[in-house]
Structure 1
Amino acid sequence: MEQTRLSDGDVADQRGSRGGQRSGQQSDFDFIVCGAGTSGSVVAARLAQDGQARVLLIEAGGDDQAESVSNPAHWPLNLGTERDWGFIGEAAPGLEGRRLPLSMGKGLGGGSSINVMVWARGHKEDWNHFAAESGDERWGYKSVLDYYRRIEDWKGTPDPLRRGKGGPVHVAQPDAPQPIAQALIDAAGMAGIPVFDSPNGEMMESAGGASIAELRIKGGKRETVFRSYIGPVITQPNLTILTDALVTRLLFEGRKVVGVEALVGGRRRQFRARHETILSLGAIHTPKVLMQSGIGHEDELRPHGIAVVQHLPGVGRNHQDHLAFGCTWAYREPQGVGGGGCEATLYWKSDARLSHPDILQCQLEFPVPAPAEAEIATPEHGWTMFAGLAQPKSRGRLRLCGPEVNDPIYIEPNSLSEPEDMVAALAAVELCREIGNSAAFTPLVSRETAPGKRDRAGMIDFIRKSAVTYWHQACTAKMGRDSMSVVDNELKVYGIEGLRIADASVLPRITTGNTMAPCVVIGERAADLIRAQHGLTEVQQVAAG
């Protein structure tokens, strides 16, 4: 049956802007994908690609047509706006009782509409761990390399083993990195850290290293995953895109999901899925919708009057995020900012015995103000290195405060609750200071402004009071085979028919680095599994728009 695109509760034309025909009556589809973010955009595009399956893509936010989305320098302007869910974590004892702002993209493109656009694939050991947890080698690194070759349109030095060409996702390093980025690479080499031509590929099969970053910036513009994947198929009549529509709950027939209810234009509407519903709402809203629909720990659902459909105690547990501590230096003279402000990155180990890096350091070419509690002045001109935990051991959780869609969800990050995280944080900051105070920066930098020289107690105080998040929330509906797993190796929710999850919440542990690229892989993998089960034609390459 022919369909049109919907926007603002009604219609979006092929440019994703307001306008077009109204088609408010259509409610039956073959597949419903909830969330037009990094993973959901991939799933919807791949399912709609052959023109046969009727696909509905539902998004709570609006379009991605804004200068703050397309301009690489303006991404911070989206934080705290209608393009940001604006979550706030509960007070964390490990952060001296502070509550962390937990931004998350809202709108077409999701996080890829408001992030810094760093393309980080995850380490080889991440993917091999996922394969072991799921019992499925198709989640292992060897298989994932095949996905990355399909996904990427890599503009760097050819590497047929590891890199793709002609895929939907434009990936490139900056043509002329700022001097401060090159200084970081030089300083890392002086510290004995290997320097690589690329932060992906060989570097992510090793103990770590430093490299000029890879970015999703094309022709001077940020390119969201929504544009990369949905752009080439957006005019197809079998794809419907509904924006400003908040999914409220799943619809069941017994233990089978047959669609969703959504709040559209102030009223509740129901949409039916003939085959499957896919939740790609992110690591906060995916478990929230599950719990408010009756899937979760029965002892936590019943007090809110929610009828239990499936007891799954892992829903909302295992919350993970990358934590960072801003180390800042003042410039001698103002310097330029390239791309989105992040042109160099570093991964390393806090302990040589580890199998893969547990330190993530992302250089920002501008000074990032420290939280007020840290009582550290920010220089007018300078740069900040986010010394971060790539593999935190602390685990948080989500809790409902009520059964209704507008009832907020409690996010308990539990940051720095495990002593191993403080040990790694101290090592990360120490390494950052060693590199930042290197002679390689002398021509550009006048002084270190944070944290400065401190004893151990003072450095711990700095870490607890200055910690912020990379906004990489994940792992709250994890894939696996134990009692706390929510989905199996095919991303199907245990005990429920017709429902899969495809977003960062399915990760058993957070990946080493930014999560955008792994979320694209999750979307591709989910689409392959769905297409195979329902006999859809094999995926053909989606050309970049």
Structure 2
Amino acid sequence: MAPERAAAALKPAYDFVVCGAGASGSVIARRLAENPEVQVLLLEAGGSDEAEAVLNPALWPTNLGSERDWGFQAQPNPHLGGRQIPMAMGKGLGGGSSINVMVWARGHRSDWDHFAAEAGDPRWSYQNVLDIYRRIENWQGVSDPQFRGTGGPVWVQPAADPSPIALAMLEAARELNVPVFDHPNGAMMEGSGGVAITDMLVRNGQRHSIYRAYVHSWLDRPNLTVLTGALVRRVVFQGRRAAGVELTHDGQQITVGAHSEVVLSLGAIQTPNILMHSGIGDRAELQRFGIPVVQHLPGVGQNLQDHVSFGCTWEFAEPLPPRNSGSEATMYWKSRPELDAPDLLFCQVEFPVPSERTAARGVPTHGWTMFAGLAQPESRGRLRLQSADPTAPLVIDANFLSDTRDVRTAAACIEICRELGNAQAFRPFVRGEVMPGNLSGNELDRYIREAAVTYWHQSCTAKMGRDEMSVVDGTLRVYGVDGLRVADASIMPRVTTGNTQAPCAVIGEQAAQAIKQAQGLSSSVNPLAQRVGAS
């Protein structure tokens, strides 16, 4: 069934209502729908992914600020000289996986072991998560059965025929004694880090989003309904049990029931928004806007994290057009040798990427950027309500660089960027460094605050854990209510080391498995079967 035709067949209720067709929601909807007796509704506020700007890997920047971007905007940040940072997030089938740079990055061993410790649940440990990654991958690169899988739905390949400057980055890293790996999703992310050609979700020259990997081929299944243009407003409760969702579609307000569970996979900004407007959040915050409190969970909207980048730019000696997505080499490294894991993320971008402030320093017509920054930031932001209207945007206090430790780490990051870009390996390709140049003291501090931009990895705003600020448990159930789970980047206790698309797919797999176990869907007799006829 094509998504745009699904509304005509909308039922009053489904067994499961999954909100958000991004990297987590797409996985959950597919995994639940694999049981033909289960009726699944997947809701997406945006539209189709049948667009050249989505499918063509080179056109990903054109999605930013388009109808496929929620267009969130952070508040003026005093730590960035009052700058407001745009916080792009995907809106449409595939969510962020339909507008991002297609990078497949698993995170570091320490990330997943930290998740397991916070949740008190070994299912989040690195070894268990590595098994999930192997199961879902269809890896097209150098064989590495210890770390890579070949039979799963997610087509992963190294950047094809990478640019000479991507290969030069590998050689520049060697000059700095950074180890070079065949791929970035194996041994490289069990220790100090390293450098490799980027793994990408591109198949036959087209973006292969998580939605494409999991859902697109299942649209003809009678038990899976995908509804686009469906803006979720709130979760509907009967007592303390999630009984469905209220949504807007074609200008009409609709309520759809959920016999078993509602899953929020709307991303780290929209998921807390829906939770708060559903009465789940800090009691004082909800009461300020007259929202009836269902469950006091003060951590909703807190702990906002994001990777922050500081672009350093070089001018090409001769024009060198970007290839693939324009980002083909990646590196993880440590700002201080005594660290146990990398705290810096480096993505080479084959065109200039200044901030709105650093653009005034002069941008070359032809050049490239070391888009590098904080893989484990210390600063924490928050989301706040500004209205009882669920369609009103939240106030986003991103709070970048509010912790002075991040400024020190940023300075070390820029120093490594300059060493890489000015290494012998790049001499045949570049005329010279454009920015920042050899800055120190107040001038370097100013550059850091003017250059800071987001990696678009917003996360951690409904975190998994066991303390008073946790929102979900290790099975991603929302504390204090029944029939409601959260499964997206907002459940991360801390942001993973690297791009968040792959971890979100794992979060979706973990949620689907937890739901199946809770509902007995893996048993020979399906307890939901008797309900389906009534739905």
TM over 0.5: yes
Q: Does 1:443 align with 2:428?
A: yes
1:89 to 57, 62, 74: 74
Amino acid at match of 1:454: L
Which of 292, 302, 305 aligns to 2:277? It is 292
Alignment equivalent of 1:158, drawn from 131, 137, 143 = 143
Look up the equivalent residue of 2:60 and give its one-letter code. Answer: W
1:321 and 2:306 correspond? yes
- Range 155-164 or range 116-125, more displaced: 155-164
Does the alignment pair 1:140 with 2:119?
no
The residue type paired with residue 383 of structure 1 is: W
Matched residue, 2:527: none
Tell me how far apart the structure 1 counterparts of residues 355 and 257 of structure 2 sit (CA, whole Å): 47
Q: Is the 8 A contact 1:322 1:469 kept in 2?
A: yes
Q: Is 1:181–1:344's contact at 8 Å kept on the other side of the alignment?
A: yes
Mapped partners of 1:274, 1:75: distance in 2: 38
What CA deviation, in whole Å up to 9, does each residue of 1:427-469 have, x standing for no partner?
A: 0000000010001000000010111111221111001011110
1:22 aligns with 2:12: no
Matches within 5 A, 1:24-103: 24=10, 26-103=11-88
Q: Give the whole-Å Cα distance in 1 for the aligned partners of 2:183 and 2:56.
A: 24
Tell me by how many angstroms 1:5 deviates.
Answer: 5.6
Structure 1 residue 195: deviation in Å?
A: 0.9
Q: Is the 8 A contact 2:160 2:324 kept in 1?
A: no
Separation in 1, partners of 2:186, 2:374? 21
Matches within 5 A, 1:113-512: 113-372=98-357, 375-512=360-497
2:170/2:196 contact within 8 Å kept: yes
Looking at structure 2, the residues matched to 97 and 370 of structure 1 have their Cα atoms a distance apart, in angstroms, of: 14
The CA deviation string for residues 298-318 of structure 1, in whole angstroms up to 9 with x for no partner, is 010001010111000000000
Q: State how far apart, in whole Å, the 2-side matches of 1:311 and 1:178 are.
A: 52
Shift of the alpha carbon at 1:372? 2.9
Q: What is the CA deviation profile of residues 72-126 of structure 1, one whole-angstrom value per residue up to 9, with x for unaligned ones?
A: 1101111101000000001111111100000000000000110000100000000
Indicate the residue corresponding to 2:533 in structure 1.
Answer: none
> Contact 1:203 / 1:209 at 8 angstroms: preserved in 2?
yes
Contact 1:6–1:23 at 8 Å: present in 2 too?
A: no
Q: What TM-score do the two structures reach when normalised by structure 1?
A: 0.95
Quote the Cα distance in structure 2 between the aligned partners of 1:538 and 1:386: 48
Residue pair 2:372, 2:417 contacting (<8 A) in 1 also: yes
Task: Report if aligned partners of 2:354, 2:451 keep a CA contact under 8 Å in 1.
Answer: no
Alignment-derived partner of residue 108 in structure 1 = 93
The AA in structure 2 aligned to 1:438 is A
User: Contact (CA 8 Å) 1:102, 1:471: kept in 2 or not?
Assistant: yes
| CA distance in structure 1 between the partners assigned to 2:3 and 2:369 by the alignment | 42
- Match of 2:9, SS state, is coil
- Distance, in Å, in 1 between the alignment partners of 2:307 and 2:199 is 19
Quick one: distance in 2 between partners of 1:432 and 1:6? Answer: 45
Q: Deviations over 1:134-167 (max 9, x none)?
A: 0011100000011001110001112222111110
Q: Counterpart of 2:51 in structure 1: which amino acid?
A: A
Alignment counterpart, residue 503 of structure 2, candidates 493, 509, 518: 518
Whether the 8 Å contact between 1:187 and 1:439 is mirrored in structure 2 is yes
> How many Å separate the matches in 2 of 1:458 and 1:186?
30
**Aligned to 2:215, what secondary structure does the other structure show?**
helix
Secondary structure in structure 1 of the residue aligned to 2:434: strand
In 2, the alpha carbon distance for the partners of 1:175 and 1:5 equals 32
2:78 and 2:488 map into 1 onto residues whose CA distance is: 29
CA-CA distance at 1:373 after TM superposition:
5.7
Q: How many percent identity over aligned positions? A: 56
Corresponding residue pairs, total: 524
SS at match of 2:303: strand
2:353–2:371 CA contact under 8 A, matched in 1? no
- Give the distance between the partners of 1:496 and 1:22, measured in 2 at CA: 32
The alignment partner of 1:464 has SS state of: helix
Q: Deviations over 1:379-400 (max 9, x none)?
A: 0001001121000000000000
* Separation (CA, whole Å) in 1 of partners of 2:512 and 2:310: 37
Structure 2 gap ranges (5+): 525-535
SS at match of 1:375: helix
How far off is 1:176 after superposition? Answer: 1.3
* Inter-partner Cα distance in structure 1 for 2:412 and 2:97: 30
- For residues 533 and 251 of structure 1, what CA distance do their matches in structure 2 show? 21
**Match for residue 18 of structure 1?**
none
The answer to whether structure 1 residue 530 and structure 2 residue 515 are counterparts is: yes
2:246 partner letter: E
The aligned counterpart of 2:528 is none
Tell me the amino acid that sits aligned with residue 224 of structure 1: S
- Stretch of structure 1 that moved more, 430-439 or 223-232: 223-232
Q: CA deviation at 1:370?
A: 3.0
1:62–1:106: 8 Å Cα contact kept in structure 2? yes
Question: How far does residue 369 in structure 1 lie from its aligned partner after superposition?
Answer: 3.0
Question: SS in structure 2 opposite 1:172?
Answer: strand
Offset at residue 368 of structure 1 (A): 1.4
Aligned partner of 2:531 in structure 1 is none
AA aligned to 1:408 is P
Give SS of 2:213's match.
helix
